[in-house]
Amino acid sequence: MGDASFSDTDSTWGSFNEDESGDCLYREVLELAIEDYYDDSLPRAPGMDHDDSESHIGSEDHEEVPDTADPLRNSGISEEQIASEVLGKFQAMDKAGLNAIQMAEKITSKILQLSDVVFSNVLPASVERVIRRRIDNHGLDKAIPKQMTRDIGDLPFVQAIALLHVCISPASMDIPGTYFICVRAVNTLVHVLRSKVVPGDVAEIIERTWDISVLLLGATRTRAQLVGDNHLALEDLCFLHADHYREEVKKAMATTLNDGNVCRRTLAHLTREELPPFVRPNELLQELEGLDTVRDQFHIQCREDHCVPDVDGNQKPHYHAPGCSGDCPTIAPPSTSLAQFNSILVKQRRMPAVRAFAYQDKKRWWVPVTRKTMAVSHLWRDGISGTRDGGMHKCLHHLFSQTAQEQGLDSYWIDCATIPENPRQRRLMIQQINSTFSTASFTLCMDERIAKLDFPSGASTGGCETHERELLAIITSFWHRRAWTLLEGHKSAEIRFYRESGDHIDLRQSLQRILIDEVDETALWVQACLAELEAYMTDGLAAEAAGLLLVTRKASRPGDAELIWRLLTQPYTTRVASKALNPTPFHHSDTVDLAFLCSNAERSTEPGLCWMPAEASTTAWARKACGGQRAEIVRTTTTHLRCRWYVSFGKAPDIADIDFDAGISHRRSTEHLRWKLESRAVEFLFAFPVFTSDQGRPEECDRVIVLTRPVRTGFTSDRETGEPLWHWETMVKLKTKRRFTNENIQMLNLGFDEQAASLVTPDCDVDASLDSEISTVPQPKLRLCGATATHNTAVSGSSVIAWALVVALFFVCFVAASTTGDAASDTTWASLPATIPAFVCEWAALVPLTVYLASGRGDFELAGEISLRGQLPVTVIPKLWALGGVAKVLRQWEAFFDSANASGETLKIFDIQHGNSFQCYNNAAVSLVADNAMRRGLIGSGDITPEHLERWIHEHRASLEAGFEVSALDDLAESGGFKALVENRRTYGRRQVLNIINVVPVEEDRARMRVESWDRGKASLYAELITSVALAGFLCSLGCIGSAVLLFTGSISRFLVRQIVVPRPLRYLENRESYMGCMLAAVHDNAAIWTLYLGDRGVIDSLLNKPLVGHLESTPTTRFACWWLQLAELLQIIAMTFVAGEKGLDALVLLGLVLAIAGFSNLYGYNMHARNWLRREGYETLAFRCEFPGRTELVAAVQLLSTERRVSWMDSIISPCDRREVLLQRLGQIDCKLEEGRRLFKSLKGHDKTWVAANWLQAKAGASLIEERLRMYAKTKSG
């Protein structure tokens, strides 16, 4: 959630955290700790005899530098090695006279030292008190007695981790590094416990030390993620679960789990090995005991790997709102409203929402989703169901309408009342799911269990306990375990859970109470549990984090989980269909956790992505699901994965070591692998992921990834580096475990997956029983040609250019060889008739050169054309110096658009809705759009003149006199009465012209389809290139060398730049506001001509305020194109002057080419960039003109057309003064009581009163007539 972070309230985290300047109050303590580096010569806590070197663990020379005194004192040593070193010295030390807590202190202190955790025992008393209070408030009172808590609280190990939790601000960027070191230290405790070397009483203390330390880290992680916005990535760390914690989970699973109200699968997922052990199962169940008012044993039959409600397909009885008798009818939108629904979805490209209480009057059922909309997230399993056409229960319509209106909203969105059964419309709406929940004011979450839970009142138990139970109930709720609700919650701006009692749970508010207001009263284990809510409180999710969350969640429809995975990893929200959905979950990732990839999930069949999981349902990993080294996703001419692996190259005996019947991967994949290995058609290797914590000594393994590549093939390499590419087959289990070392680490490139298409497993090798399993595996997309040919022999753009150059050079050499000496004219098979005067040829030679020199295109026009077309513009025979201009664009890009847009007519923009002003960015594009709109005005003679304004004022005199209120209008003119007041502004004002351009969406039409099909078709590009090259060769055979060179260089340049995709910005044409656009443009504040843009704010804001092109990455294609365009420009000048000097047939042919290209461009509208841009984006403009007698009434009329009452934008046009304030008050733009308005009006001088009344009349007339024209156009369109 974009606004879910509590960063604004960091200062309230605690009085011990920060001073007024925002610095950590105890920064000097942390710096002292780093400087001392936990030096063994410093005083220790009581109980450690530092004078006795034999009793101290290790006998280092303290005069040496701490970093080098101990070879293990660095992060490059594995946790297992640290534990082994500590245990070795513990066994060798003299333990006489030491009790259990003292021995535990020696072990944990040495771990603290060797793990690089910096800490000083010299702490201020206030810090020690806070640390003690936090440690004592762990909440595990049944497992850890108070005396043991006090003893453990004295351990430097626990105090060091508590110091991280207490002293560092949640927003500090020092947290991730320190947190990682602390995790290593806590993991080392697990290795110590697993060794079974320490005595039982000491092991118990270490176990409780582990418990408290984990909870401290969990609370630190929660506050850093949800308060400080530090984004401690779950996939970057790997916690080890202690054995006693595993036993605790098993015992909890053996109970009835609160009579079936908590699902075993949910608890298993909360405590699984892939997550840090932050959730304490016994305390969680005890805290939720007694809250369920309905004991329906919903999950009593569930198992750790199986949730009955997830798979049984049953649905509860229909849910009805409290107070409903249960037999209310279903209400569907009237059939007459479907046209409005389609208009919002298709024409406006927005998500339709249900207007509050629309079922009562049914006049207007649908409205677009805006900030005034409430989104509803629910569970079909709970009985809330329906379709748009089938309807939804009336009581639910009333419930959602009432809830929305109570919050000041006017509509609500819920899928079962809005999403139709039509597949096409369903796809369009799914593409807007992200923007729907992010745009809505808040999301109301409907979970029947939470809605009916009996929470104790805050007055009797204290608010802290109530908020704790609310959040713990959410963590175990069915809503929290579903895939679609995960997406809806993640994209929501704010989350509230519905309660039948009316006390809805505000997730953000509850978290604020727990993590900030009542942090001292909240148990550590509760704070640690809240890390589970990170998905709803962060802006974006990495592909691995989203994948791990979806592993534990189900979706009803096949393929929905993979769709949700792609939506979760979308870092922004947009309504543009082409950008609303990532092609893959890793589309925005440059690296990926190798540990996450090494699973039994089926793999993608897309070229270069054989390493990517194609499904979200993963059940096993080669090691852990997180904590591996980062692998680089390389996107060049081939897409592949580059990463370091433990590698063992396979030989024939290794095939027998693979257990193909282990069942850890899909049977189809293992059977296909068996056939390939036995066929000896491929070479293979076993790959094992490298973990950051391995330090060259990974644990023994029996699960590996098999990688293959065809034997003796020359096409399985990356074209950039020539390195071999491997194909990801599947994960297999080995019959004997293997151990890898540092010597086995190699860098591999994975991405060659096309041999899977060429090596087809015989049908007889796959059992028929696999049909049901195979049907669930994602199938590869259809391709136009064979997969191997596509991957290995696809012709790139550079090879086509090279081929064309060879053909052209062949023709040039042929013609040159055949036209030597004086007989050149005789060797061509065509010549000019002798009757053509020489003057004609000379004139024809000079016309193209003169025209092209006189009509050169500047940077200003070029910037506007590129911005609107979305392409680099090069014609078949470009204007002189045009190619150099395009090359300049490629070299400078953003700098070019910044300077080019400022080189021509610059505009100042006034945003009427926001009340601010700024310089226009796309000056060139705006001038083209405005010129096109005013030239092609859709009303024609519908301009508004001052005579129209005066006629309207006289026609509405009665209502105007009643509406002015503060004085009689007849009394305000010096002479002549009301008529003189009307004509006052024409006498004293200065004529002003307001051009109104209304931008409205339209349906796709033939013109737009023609533009897109011809302007964007790939087939037309190749056809144009082939035709142009052939024509150039034909001209060479005629002896028209100059024309041929011009045609050839122009066609090659045009084809080359069309291979460069001009990117659009991420939020291109997106409207993130709830109101229409209303912006005024002029060359300066004292202009005579103004242009008002109304309509779709996304288009208007993008056109006037934001760049229309995104960032263009420098690639080999762009660099080659830049070089070629500069060369082609030189060739073009030589050829053009050559034609002018040579004259003859060459000059006539060039003139004909120029005329033909100009006519062709005009025929297809190539030069109408503004009109084509609007059509491509699905918009059109209504344009007309309104003349005002003065500037003040023009500005006032524009303010009346706005839906927001912000007037600060006009300060530079009309200086703030008393009479301006009174005028705006009379227009209703400034709140003022009638009595106060009359007093202020009377305080004005006589001519100021006349000024106010005259401008008020003209502004009311102008705004009314403009609105009338707009309504007339809307009525014409709807009719």
Instruction: State the Cα–Cα distance between residues 1170 and 1193, nearest whole angstrom.
Output: 31
What is the pTM assigned to this prediction?
0.58
pLDDT score, position 234: 44
Looking at 261-350, list the stretches that DSSP marks H as alpha helix, in order from N- to C-terminal side. 264-270, 281-288, 308-311, 338-342
Enumerate residues 6+ apart whose C-beta is below 8 A from 48. 56, 102, 105, 106, 109
Residue 791 has pLDDT above 60, yes or no: no
Instruction: State the Cα–Cα distance between residues 1110 and 1130, nearest whole angstrom.
Output: 30
Instruction: State the Cα–Cα distance between residues 625 and 545, nearest whole angstrom.
Output: 10
Residue 842 has pLDDT above 70, yes or no: no
Confidence of residue 1277 (pLDDT cuts 50, 70, 90): low
Of residues 125, 211, 150, 222, the one with CA closest to residue 179: 222
Whether 867 and 925 have beta carbons less than 8 Å apart is answered as: yes
Give the tens place of pLDDT for each residue, 439-493.
899 999 998 888 888 876 543 344 567 788 888 889 888 888 888 888 888 888 8
Residue 831 region, left (φ>0) first, then alpha (ψ -120 to 50), else beta?
A: beta
Within 13 A of 386's CA, how many CA atoms are on the CB side?
24
Measure Cα distances from 345 to 21, 369, 420, 708, 1102 in Å.
50, 10, 12, 48, 21
Residue 27 has pLDDT above 50, yes or no: no
pLDDT score, position 171: 62
Q: Which tokens is 878 given?
A: 């470009």
345-348 CB contacts, 8 Å cutoff, 24+ apart: 345/425, 345/428, 345/429, 346/428, 346/1003, 347/1001, 347/1002, 347/1003, 347/1178, 348/1001, 348/1096
Over range 955-975, report the average pLDDT: 79
Helices 797-818 and 1018-1038: crossing angle in degrees, nearest 10, is 10
pLDDT score, position 442: 94
Q: Which tokens is 289 given?
A: 């005991």
Please state which of the ranges 229-243, 640-654, 913-927 shows the lowest mean pLDDT: 229-243
Burial class (CB in 10 A: 0-12, 13-18, 19+), 915: middle
Residue 314 has pLDDT above 80, yes or no: no
To the nearest 5 percent, what fractions of the chain are helix, strand and coil? 50, 10, 40
Instruction: State the Cα–Cα distance between residues 948 and 3, nearest whole angstrom.
Output: 49
pLDDT score, position 867: 86
Higher per-residue pLDDT: 879 or 898: 898
Higher per-residue pLDDT: 581 or 187: 187
pLDDT score, position 23: 39
pLDDT score, position 401: 92
Which amino acid makes up residue 641?
A: L
Residue 22 has pLDDT above 60, yes or no: no
Residue 764 has pLDDT above 70, yes or no: no
Over range 125-149, report the average pLDDT: 86
Over range 1199-1226, report the average pLDDT: 89
Whether 753 and 610 have beta carbons less than 8 Å apart is answered as: yes
pLDDT score, position 497: 93
Instruction: State the Cα–Cα distance between residues 157 and 192, nearest whole angstrom.
Output: 14
Give the tens place of pLDDT for each residue, 728-747.
999 999 999 998 888 889 99
Give the tens place of pLDDT for each residue, 622-648.
888 887 888 998 887 678 899 999 999
Please state which of the ranges 509-523, 660-674, 695-709, 774-788 shows the lowest mean pLDDT: 774-788
pLDDT score, position 779: 34
How does the average pLDDT of the chain come out, rounded? 76
Provide the residue ranges of all domains of the chain, joining segments of one domain with +. 23-236, 331-540, 541-588, 591-793, 850-904+1006-1073+1105-1171, 946-1002+1177-1278
Q: Which tokens is 507 given?
A: 């997730």
pLDDT score, position 19: 41
Instruction: State the Cα–Cα distance between residues 331 and 359, nearest whole angstrom.
Output: 7
Question: What percent of the chain shows pLDDT beyond 90?
Answer: 14
Q: Which tokens is 727 given?
A: 């194909």
pLDDT score, position 995: 92
Q: Which tokens is 714 given?
A: 């020359």
Residue 820 has pLDDT above 50, yes or no: no
Residue 1123 has pLDDT above 60, yes or no: yes
Higher per-residue pLDDT: 743 or 937: 743
Residue showing tokens 């519908």: 942
Confidence of residue 797 (pLDDT cuts 50, 70, 90): very low
Residue 1027 has pLDDT above 70, yes or no: yes
Residue 18 has pLDDT above 50, yes or no: no
pLDDT score, position 1092: 94
Please state which of the ranges 50-54, 1049-1053, 1062-1066 shows the lowest mean pLDDT: 50-54
Helices 200-226 and 125-136: crossing angle in degrees, nearest 10, is 100
Within 13 A of 279's CA, how many CA atoms are on the CB side?
25
Measure Cα distances from 1267 to 945, 947, 1202, 1260 in Å.
15, 17, 11, 11
pLDDT score, position 1166: 54
Give the tens place of pLDDT for each residue, 67-107.
333 333 445 677 888 888 899 888 888 778 889 999 999 99
Residue 783 has pLDDT above 50, yes or no: no
Confidence of residue 369 (pLDDT cuts 50, 70, 90): very high
pLDDT score, position 395: 92
Q: Which tokens is 815 given?
A: 């013609």
Higher per-residue pLDDT: 124 or 642: 642
Over range 800-808, report the average pLDDT: 43
pLDDT score, position 1011: 42
**Beta-strand pair 1089-1095/1077-1082:** antiparallel
Instruction: State the Cα–Cα distance between residues 184 and 1243, nearest whole angstrom.
Output: 77
Give the tens place of pLDDT for each residue, 940-959.
457 888 889 988 988 888 88
Winning range, highest mean pLDDT, from 16-30, 35-49, 261-275, 847-861: 261-275
Cβ neighbour number for residue 154 with a 10 Å cutoff: 15
Q: Which tokens is 1159 given?
A: 């006519």
Beta strands (DSSP E) in 711-841 are 725-738, 745-750
